Chains A and B, each alone.
Chain A
Amino acid sequence: MSRTSQLRERAARLDARLKLGGALFALLVTLAGPAPHTALGVTGLALLASLAAGERVRALVRRLGLAVFSGLAVWVLHLLLQPEAAGAWVPGLILGTRVAAGATVFGLLIALTPPWELVGALRSWRVPAPLADVLALAVRYATVLERSAQSAREAQILRLGYRDVRRGLHSLGALGGLTLVRAFDQAHATAEAMAARGCRGALVPPRRDDP
């Protein structure tokens, strides 16, 4: 096993609460610390950690693209608002580095932590139980619904459903409606499965003294 794989595996085995807490801390430091130095520092550290964990360079560059874009947009916005003033690039630089830090830290977090572990971390941080249940179910079924919508869209494409703008809009509306109908069908099936297992609403295991 290569060193990168070992590092990645070790990082993936870390407690999700620790990783989420660390990412939140890094994000808050980025926003609260002196700009742009803090943001640049956090971005550098997160980039190094991402490379050590075996993240692809192309993915990292793509993440940084959004930061460059945001910085340029703010620079142009300030140029438009105050054409005569010098130093319009400063707010652009500050914002660009902050977005870069956010994108790299958050990207590293979700690359090393599966979504259900993050939901588990939220649950252990006393997020209200009904909300945690909804989150856990939504995480579980989002990919299922996405695949179902994708197959329906492929079928529509085969039937020339996107031949022109008018037909495309009609197909898109039907696809949205179909996704919602399937979501409700899936909800019924899940509710039945939960009832069959004796679940009474909460997904957390019942207490020992529960009748």
Chain B
Amino acid sequence: MPGISGRGCGAAPWHRVQALLQPAFHATRAPSRFWLLAALLLLPHPAHAMHLAEGLLPFGWALGWTISVLPLLALGVTRLRQRVAQNPLYSPFVAMLAAAVFVVSCMPVPVPIIGTCSHPCGTGLAAVLIGPVMTVLVTFVALLLQALFLAHGGLTTLGADIWSMGVVGGFVGYGVFHGLRAVRAPLAVAAFAAGMLSDWATYAMTSFELASALHGSQPLGSALGTLLLSFLPTQLPLGILEGALTAGAVVFISRRRPALLHFHALPAPATP
């Protein structure tokens, strides 16, 4: 399951998790089920967060998400073509950024509250650097790399994964960063908020995708609420950590290579 997985890197402090979740699940009057769900969510096993695994979505939903993301991918390819027409050597920049997003999303981030490690999205950071439309393309490439190299995610769930990470995560990250910069928020604060909210938006969207496909005869709202609640213990701290990572990376780039922060606004990189 996406977002609820983590590579075990320490014992989970169970009493803290119980204290965090118990009031929320009190209404279900099923404490044993709480323990079962908590155990499942905190079960350490190697997987990358954010991805819907191959086979998770039924045929109709997988096809629907894939078809609906095609126009955005086509827009990204059109933009890429335009930039390549301006400067034929633009494609290496996008390719390296996709590879970098792949690498950043493989970095293990320790999640202190539950004592496991998880992985950042990196798409908020990409959106800050190259804008949301190209982020959709970069996410497609990064997700395909993760599928091909690490067998995480899959081909039938690629459309849904692009929606959650590239479209929702990318647009939220870009909007928050530039919105806060427009009101003269400090760079680190804007980047932190962009990373954090992009991560949370990604998880909200992933929960929606899962709930809409799996709720069966139950109301969509209850399924969505339960999923969001289930992801809360890992995603709340992970979002904050992703915000910290994005802020650190953006501040580092602003000191070392400030031109990269305006990369998306430049007509084209200088021809070597």
Interface on A for B, CB 8 Å cutoff? 23-24, 27-28, 30-32, 39, 62-63, 65-67, 69-70, 72-74, 76-83, 91, 95, 98-103, 105-107, 110, 115, 118, 128, 130-131, 133-139, 141-146, 149, 153, 165, 168-170, 172-184, 186-188, 190-192, 194-195, 199-202
B residues in contact with A200, CB < 8 Å? 88
Complex Cα spacing A142 to B45, Å = 24
Measured as residues with beta carbon below 8 angstroms from the partner, the interface class of chain B is 35 or more
Complex Cα spacing A143 to B97, Å = 13
Q: Show 18 residue pairs from A and B whose CB-CB distance is below 8 angstroms, ordered by the A residue.
A: A81-B223, A100-B55, A130-B77, A130-B81, A130-B91, A133-B91, A134-B91, A135-B141, A137-B96, A141-B96, A142-B102, A145-B99, A146-B102, A149-B107, A169-B245, A172-B245, A172-B248, A176-B125
Asked if A180 contacts B260 (CB within 8 A), the reply is yes
- Taking CB as reference atom, which chain B residue is nearest A65? B45
CB distance from A57 to the nearest CB of B (A): 16
Complex Cα spacing A69 to B55, Å = 13
Complex Cα spacing A182 to B93, Å = 11
Residues facing A in B123-181 (CB within 8 A) are 125, 129, 137, 140-142, 144-145, 147-149, 151, 154-156
List 5 additional A-B contacts (Cβ < 8 Å) besides A173-B244, A173-B252, A176-B246. Answer: A73-B1, A80-B25, A138-B95, A177-B248, A180-B253
- Majority DSSP secondary structure for residues of A touching B: helix
Question: Does B53 sit at the interface, judged by CB under 8 A?
Answer: yes
Partner pick for A130 among B28, B84, B156, CB 8 A cutoff: B84
CB distance from B107 to the nearest CB of A (A): 7
Question: Does B197 sit at the interface, judged by CB under 8 A?
Answer: no
Partner pick for B145 among A139, A168, A183, CB 8 A cutoff: A139
Fill in one digit per residue for B16-37: 1 if any A CB lies within 8 Å of its CB, else 0. Answer: 0000000001001110010011
B residues in contact with A73, CB < 8 Å? 1, 4, 37, 40-41
Complex Cα spacing A186 to B93, Å = 9
Question: Does B110 sit at the interface, judged by CB under 8 A?
Answer: yes
Interface on B for A, CB 8 Å cutoff? 1, 4-5, 25, 28-30, 33, 36-37, 40-41, 43, 45-47, 53-59, 62, 77, 80-81, 84, 88-100, 102-104, 106-107, 109-110, 112, 120, 122, 125, 129, 137, 140-142, 144-145, 147-149, 151, 154-156, 214-216, 218, 222-223, 226-227, 230, 241, 244-253, 256-257, 260, 269, 271-272
Complex Cα spacing A92 to B245, Å = 36
Complex Cα spacing A165 to B110, Å = 9
CB distance from B44 to the nearest CB of A (A): 11
Partner pick for A115 among B110, B149, B230, CB 8 A cutoff: B149
Asked if A80 contacts B33 (CB within 8 A), the reply is yes
A residues in contact with B40, CB < 8 Å? 69, 72-73, 76
Complex Cα spacing A176 to B80, Å = 24
Asked if B77 contacts A131 (CB within 8 A), the reply is yes
- Taking CB as reference atom, which chain B residue is nearest A200? B88
Complex Cα spacing A70 to B147, Å = 18
The 3 closest A-B pairs by CB, nearest first: A173-B248, A177-B252, A201-B88
- Taking CB as reference atom, which chain A residue is nearest B88? A201
Complex Cα spacing A190 to B89, Å = 9
Asked if A102 contacts B53 (CB within 8 A), the reply is yes
B residues in contact with A184, CB < 8 Å? 93, 96-97, 257, 260
- Taking CB as reference atom, which chain A residue is nearest B106? A146
Partner pick for B155 among A24, A67, A79, CB 8 A cutoff: A24
Asked if A99 contacts B56 (CB within 8 A), the reply is yes
B residues in contact with A65, CB < 8 Å? 45
Partner pick for A180 among B43, B100, B215, CB 8 A cutoff: B100
A residues in contact with B4, CB < 8 Å? 73
- Taking CB as reference atom, which chain B residue is nearest A199? B88
Complex Cα spacing A172 to B80, Å = 30
A69-B1, A81-B223, A138-B99 as given contacts; A170 in contact with B88, CB under 8 Å: no
